[in-house]
Structure 1
Amino acid sequence: MASTVTGLTIASPQEAAAALPTGFATLVNAGSGKCLDARSAATANGTAVQQYTCNSSTAQQWSLTTTSDGYVRINNGNNTSQVVDVSDVSTADNALVHLWAYGGGNNQQWLPVDEGAGNYHFVNRNSGKCLDVPSASTADSVQLVQYTCNGSAAQRFQVAAVTQPPSNGVDLGPNVVVFDPSMSASTIQTRLNSIFQQQQTNQFGSQRYAVMFKPGTYSADVNVGFYTQVLGLGQSPDSVTINGAVHAEADWFQGNATQNFWRGAENLSVNPTNGADRWAVSQASSYRRMHVRGNIALDDGGWSSGGYMADTKIDGQVNSGSQQQWLTRNSQLGSWTGSNWNMVFVGSQGVPGTSFPNPPYTTVATSPVTREKPFLYTDSAGNYQVFVPSVRTNSTGTSWASGSAAGSSLPIDQFYIVKAGSTASQINAALAEGKNLLVTPGVYHLDQTLQVNRADTVILGLGLATFIPDNGITAMKVADVDGVKIAGVLFDAGTTNSPTLLEVGPTGASATHTANPTSLHDVYFRVGGAAVGKATTSLVVNSDNVIGDHMWIWRADHGSGVGWTTNTADTGLIVNGDNVTMYGLFVEHYQKYQTIWNGNGGKTYFYQNEMPYDPPNQAAWMNGSTQGYAAYKVADSVTSHQAWGLGSYCYFNVNPAVAAERAYEVPSNGGTRLTNMVTVSLGGVGTIRHVANNNGGPSNSTTNVANLINYP
């Protein structure tokens, strides 16, 4: 059926919406040839919707989501909660159009009227007027308006689906950006700048990106913001060379990098401008399989709160600057300078020897058992494959020192590619068919638990891909099988309490996996921060021989949905399996024990913790008759356990009178050994009375830092 509105013949609402792209699209004005654009890539309410020269940025990507009766809301790619909105609910000609959070208003809904050949005009549901470029201008930065529909080119928009050119037929979705050496430096830089501008301060946003460089040489300044993973697609870091920088800065926070979370740089070589690069980060920011032909700084003048470097070669010097703590694993450095509270080196070359606590260096010569993180690459024919490194024992230095690492490759057709719209049911069906998972950047709500039951399954997330369990379920459960690899995934608690977010092995798991352990690489957990979240325990490890390779397990202390009775979470990590090894274990702000270790034969290389900031009073944070909970609890039944380089900090900013009796609580049976521990009262706000059991300390307003070399 067709009808006539203001003199124009248009399709019915149902017919009009039928041909629209289902994903992101560009809207190019027929009169100017310029793109519908969110000014300055901003995401705040009131951001001008303008026309601007098309540049492939996400500020110019829009999704047209059906509301009712054929009308759509036009969501911006920078922040899909923001829609094209007529200001002040006006019905007047020339009323300005801007972005505003969607609330269901008629002024936020548009009827797409098909004019043929992919052209549409958009009629506002509230006013009956059309989206319009005022005065048919062809200039950049002209803000759009609504105007009486007149059939002019100024009201006509070509709607074209945004598609990422596939690599040999593989489509990884719009949030995976692939560069190749044939592209101009200016084109690459413009896209990099667009992503960074969006992500620089986007700490709790939903946008996610993986930025990939095919083998070759590039001139680029790669500034890495939130939820951005930058990686090379070669089989060696030296397959991709960046002349310029691959860096993380803290300019957005006045040089303070203590909130530079959720980002990563992997599998690249860098010839840094002026011989020096910067990676000023804190938790959940991995630096892996990198080769820097120069120096690197780990701060930006203000404080930095911890980080992780693995399988990396730095030809020059690493300067830790203000970094409070850091783990360097299986790397080769020219030299290292700098220290604060807790610097740990495991299986690395060119690093300082043990001298804790002055300076606080803890050095372990070899890594007893490791597996490097799986990674995506393109082979000589241009096909995507995933490389799965082999297990190494008693290792030192990088896995690729001889040019290539030991391991095996899996072709991309053995993976189910999780993209926008993928459901938990579809993912589980793929897993049941024996598929691995390649999870493209995005936020995925789960209405059923993901069941990983096949040995050697690989789950590889790109761009901080995020799973949120709904309705109080556990997000993922792994059977007690050999060799599962989970990498690059963020588990974010839902609003209904989950008993756990990830379980590795069922309760009572007892199989031995010495030859082929399950491993977790850059696996992060969050309870609150982006929104209210609740989870009793974030990670439970029941299987034996599991390797943890960089994990941040975080109950949020800032952001949205944060409060003692709001983002409730008892414990970050419970280890029940035997012979579990953890490298770079960060667990923070949980309301009871941060970490509970019940299995025998456990080893931890570097532990970083902050106790909860927000106990309202001492009575609210009592472990029986003991004030507070230890950060690291080894069960009394454990007969063998070792840990090196541990740090626990307090900052009881809601009630500075709150105290914790101890940071580390372990059995005194001769089988447990803790080496090189520190406690810190940050700014003297709160007290940790003892370091381990009743030894060492205090850390308080008088003595902020307390060290203990060994216990017992």
Structure 2
Amino acid sequence: MSTPTKPRRTLRRSAPALAAVAAVIAVASAAGPAQALTTQQVDPFAPDFGPNVTVVDPAMPVGDVQALLDGLAAAQTDAEMGSARQSVLFLPGAYGSAEQPLQAKVGYYTELAGLGASPDGVDITGKIEVYNRCLDGGGTTNCIALNNFWRTISNLKLEINGAGQDGCRASANFWAVSQAVSMRRLDISGANLSLMDYCTAGPQYASGGFIADSRLPFTINGSQQQWLTRNSDVAGWSNGVWNQVFSGVEGAPDDAAFPNPPYTTLDETPVSREKPYLFVDADGRYAVRVPSAHEGTRGISWADGETPGRTIPITDFYIAHPGDAIGTINSALQRGKHLLLTPGVYDVDSSIQLKRAGTVVLGMGHATLTAVGGAVPIKVADAPGIVVAGVTIDAGTVESPVLMQVGKPGAGQAAKVDPADPITLSDVYFRVGGPHVGKADTALVVNSDHVLIDHTWVWRADHGIEGFTQGVNGDTDRWNTNIGRTGVVVNGDDVTATGLFVEHFQQYNTIWNGERGTTVLYQNELPYDPPTQADWTRPDGTLGYPGYLVADGVAEHHLYGGGVYVFNQNNPSIVTENGFEAPDGAGISLEHIMTVNLSAGTISHIVNGIGDAADTTVIGLPRYLTHYPLP
């Protein structure tokens, strides 16, 4: 890398100060910067990313980087419902060595990302890991990965080195995670990658995840319930619990023996666009690379050099900080700026309006937009090439009609979009309840045609710190207070979802009204908390709501690898008639779908009255259907 023409500013934390990392994080998140000026000057060599972004460089002693990462992990490992958001960015170069590997653990709301133009630009010798989280006050009797949400690693090379760890820990790089966790643009080698932690109290279930655009070593799935690996290279794969989906993956296992093992393999990904990423060019200037969209793709985007796409200089972005007025943000967008959301929690009292074709919104460190006063936090116009990535949207205490609206309602929008440049949502997550009371009629509505949803978790919280007491684990209070009727509604045509995770909504979790829709991996768990069967019965008398509904009248729809789970802990007598519902037509294809009982409640059929019941006589035993409609 050449010497920058202007010195970079590198944010460092000295080792003596690291004991106070947790306090610093809390203060930074609570205070927030002063309201941003309407006209913002951005230094291309040293942008103001605010107090929750740390930039490290290879000149820093490994011990200092290790101490920094250890301090962040200590502060964030148990901060599931906290407000701190953190991003650690690695300037190009090498970190760690065989003699002194850099071994990091990643906690909640933390992003670790390389700033190289390619993943190999940042070379880490060591480990980047997530272990089972122990919930018993320091013991090992209740250690799980089921709640290991909201963390990100991307754009770096990892040469696994477990030197100094015990024999079990040194055996692999552990990534024991569940929803809202993404691994992108990684080049991993040196040992196995394990998606379960078999060292902390033995193997424990984990509830899902996502990898894209990565070169992987032999990967141990183990106890992961569902997983999507997209457009990657893998040296080998073992095990799987329920849904394991591979799309456009070199080295993917064959799925001919489905459901044993439960693999679903697509040779190519129907529509793909990799997530935008921040990088530093050879002169030290910051920029964002925005990959282009493609059809029928396979393998990593960087195999032959730079990922195809366009580069936007950081000076073309408005860099937002928590506390900035929404009017200021919209004014910048109207003047042609893109939007970079630095880590933190933003109170959003009116909609962020994305109207201009090609606008990019990139969140850092799980930047979170919380609806205030019933606002719709983001509205996206029917315009090609708009990309929203790395953003979490939280319902507020006053009911919002929707948390994100893509396109205007009604027909006639198709002429405004471009099939070759779809509106794209990458790692966009939604939450109703959890850290506070949340209310939203619907989380995500997609009205536009030609939209790509590339990994989302749409979650009405099944647990939290709201103080609910009535019912099993407060579920009756939760049902009556945390309002989330519908998770996702797709009205547009030619919409593709790669990695659609939707859970616990009070009526329909997903309704697909548009034509020629495609979903590659769907994961759903029905709500835990209906107090009575009457609360979980449709107006026409049908028992319960399916986890995935393709509307009557839809002529063409494709789903590859779908699961609906039931755990009605508040009232185990509750019955849901079907896990899936869809028209029975030549253009409808639901491949490799299943239902499963997690110990409470019943799903009577897999789809449209077909398939055996998932009830308490078959706890944990999936009910599979290879193809619907039946031959």
Q: Same fold (TM over 0.5)?
A: yes
Task: Report the counterpart of residue 284 of structure 1 in structure 2.
Answer: 180
Match of 1:551 among 453, 456, 471: 456
Paired residue type of 2:592: N
Task: Report the counterpart of residue 411 of structure 1 in structure 2.
Answer: 313
Paired residue type of 1:54: A
| Maintained 8 Å contact 1:201/1:252 | no
CA-atom RMSD in angstroms: 1.8
Match of 1:598 among 513, 525, 543: 513
Task: Report the counterpart of residue 336 of structure 1 in structure 2.
Answer: 237
In 1: Cα distance, 2:612 partner to 2:361 partner: 43
Residue 179 of structure 1 pairs with residue 56 of structure 2 = yes
Residue 368 of structure 1 pairs with residue 270 of structure 2 = yes
Match of 2:441 among 523, 536, 542: 536
In 2: Cα distance, 1:221 partner to 1:701 partner: 43
Task: Report the counterpart of residue 251 of structure 2 in structure 1.
Answer: 350
- Structure 1 residues 251 and 529, CA, compared in 2 at 3 Å: closer, same or farther? closer
Residue 671 of structure 1 pairs with residue 565 of structure 2 = no
Match of 2:571 among 637, 655, 660: 655
- Structure 1 residues 237 and 520, CA, compared in 2 at 3 Å: closer, same or farther? same
In 2: Cα distance, 1:648 partner to 1:407 partner: 36
Task: Report the counterpart of residue 392 of structure 2 in structure 1.
Answer: 490
Paired residue type of 1:58: V
Task: Report the counterpart of residue 46 of structure 1 in structure 2.
Answer: none
- SS of structure 2 residue aligned to 1:427: helix
After TM superposition, give the deviation of residue 686 of structure 1 in Å.
0.9
Paired residue type of 1:669: G
After TM superposition, give the deviation of residue 79 of structure 1 in Å.
7.0
Residue 446 of structure 1 pairs with residue 348 of structure 2 = yes
Task: Report the counterpart of residue 706 of structure 1 in structure 2.
Answer: 623
Residue 470 of structure 1 pairs with residue 404 of structure 2 = no
In 2: Cα distance, 1:515 partner to 1:392 partner: 7
| Maintained 8 Å contact 1:552/1:586 | yes
Task: Report the counterpart of residue 641 of structure 1 in structure 2.
Answer: 557
Listed as ranges, the matches of 1:107-256 within 5 Å are 168-219=45-96, 220-253=102-135, 254-256=142-144
Paired residue type of 1:214: L
Range moving further from structure 2, 220-229 or 268-277: 268-277
Task: Report the counterpart of residue 27 of structure 2 in structure 1.
Answer: 77
Task: Report the counterpart of residue 160 of structure 1 in structure 2.
Answer: none
Paired residue type of 2:423: T
Task: Report the counterpart of residue 493 of structure 2 in structure 1.
Answer: 578
Match of 2:146 among 258, 264, 271: 258
Task: Report the counterpart of residue 122 of structure 1 in structure 2.
Answer: none
| Maintained 8 Å contact 1:679/1:688 | yes
Paired residue type of 1:77: V
Task: Report the counterpart of residue 66 of structure 1 in structure 2.
Answer: none
In 2: Cα distance, 1:380 partner to 1:57 partner: 35
After TM superposition, give the deviation of residue 420 of structure 1 in Å.
2.9
Residue 61 of structure 1 pairs with residue 24 of structure 2 = yes
After TM superposition, give the deviation of residue 61 of structure 1 in Å.
3.2
In 2: Cα distance, 1:166 partner to 1:272 partner: 35
Paired residue type of 1:542: N
Task: Report the counterpart of residue 192 of structure 2 in structure 1.
Answer: 295
In 1: Cα distance, 2:19 partner to 2:329 partner: 30
After TM superposition, give the deviation of residue 473 of structure 1 in Å.
1.4
In 2: Cα distance, 1:172 partner to 1:241 partner: 23
| TM-score for both structures, normalised by structure 2 | 0.87
Q: Per-residue displacement from partner, 1:133-181 (whole Å, max 9, x unpaired)?
A: xxxxxxxxxxxxxxxxxxxxxxxxxxxxxxxx98723111110011101
Q: Per-residue displacement from partner, 1:208-237 (whole Å, max 9, x unpaired)?
A: 001110111101212110000110001111
Match of 1:305 among 180, 202, 207: 207
Q: Per-residue displacement from partner, 1:624-669 (whole Å, max 9, x unpaired)?
A: 2111000000110211100010011000000000010001000113
Task: Report the counterpart of residue 140 of structure 1 in structure 2.
Answer: none
| Maintained 8 Å contact 2:28/2:52 | no
| Maintained 8 Å contact 1:79/1:205 | no
Task: Report the counterpart of residue 102 of structure 1 in structure 2.
Answer: none
In 2: Cα distance, 1:267 partner to 1:453 partner: 29
In 1: Cα distance, 2:488 partner to 2:55 partner: 36
Range moving further from structure 2, 247-256 or 565-574: 247-256
| Maintained 8 Å contact 1:499/1:535 | yes
Residue 268 of structure 1 pairs with residue 184 of structure 2 = no
In 2: Cα distance, 1:206 partner to 1:590 partner: 24
In 2: Cα distance, 1:654 partner to 1:61 partner: 40
Range moving further from structure 2, 417-426 or 538-547: 417-426
Match of 2:224 among 304, 312, 323: 323
Range moving further from structure 2, 489-498 or 558-567: 558-567
After TM superposition, give the deviation of residue 58 of structure 1 in Å.
3.0
Paired residue type of 2:241: N
Paired residue type of 1:530: P
Paired residue type of 2:195: L
After TM superposition, give the deviation of residue 560 of structure 1 in Å.
2.5
The gaps in structure 1 that reach 5 residues or longer are 1-25, 27-34, 36-51, 63-75, 82-164
Paired residue type of 1:264: T
| Maintained 8 Å contact 1:585/1:608 | yes
| Maintained 8 Å contact 1:166/1:172 | no
| Maintained 8 Å contact 1:644/1:676 | yes
- Structure 1 residues 386 and 79, CA, compared in 2 at 3 Å: closer, same or farther? closer
The runs of at least 4 consecutive aligned structure 1 residues that moved more than 4 Å come to: none
In 2: Cα distance, 1:189 partner to 1:166 partner: 28
Task: Report the counterpart of residue 588 of structure 1 in structure 2.
Answer: 503
- SS of structure 1 residue aligned to 2:616: coil
In 1: Cα distance, 2:22 partner to 2:73 partner: 12
In 2: Cα distance, 1:233 partner to 1:255 partner: 34
In 2: Cα distance, 1:545 partner to 1:408 partner: 20
Match of 2:544 among 625, 628, 631: 628
In 2: Cα distance, 1:179 partner to 1:571 partner: 42
- SS of structure 2 residue aligned to 1:54: helix
* Bigger Cα Rg: 1
Paired residue type of 2:220: N
| Maintained 8 Å contact 1:424/1:447 | yes
| Maintained 8 Å contact 2:357/2:385 | yes
Paired residue type of 1:194: G
Paired residue type of 1:681: N
| Maintained 8 Å contact 2:294/2:420 | no
After TM superposition, give the deviation of residue 55 of structure 1 in Å.
3.7
After TM superposition, give the deviation of residue 77 of structure 1 in Å.
2.5
Q: Per-residue displacement from partner, 1:307-357 (whole Å, max 9, x unpaired)?
A: 10110101x210001001111100100000011111110000111111311
After TM superposition, give the deviation of residue 247 of structure 1 in Å.
1.2
In 2: Cα distance, 1:366 partner to 1:338 partner: 22
Paired residue type of 1:249: Y
In 2: Cα distance, 1:514 partner to 1:676 partner: 28
In 2: Cα distance, 1:57 partner to 1:178 partner: 18
- SS of structure 2 residue aligned to 1:471: coil
In 1: Cα distance, 2:260 partner to 2:28 partner: 47
Match of 2:322 among 420, 423, 439: 420
- SS of structure 1 residue aligned to 2:481: coil
Task: Report the counterpart of residue 510 of structure 1 in structure 2.
Answer: 414
Paired residue type of 1:298: L
Task: Report the counterpart of residue 142 of structure 1 in structure 2.
Answer: none
In 2: Cα distance, 1:322 partner to 1:515 partner: 38
After TM superposition, give the deviation of residue 60 of structure 1 in Å.
5.4
| Maintained 8 Å contact 1:224/1:247 | yes
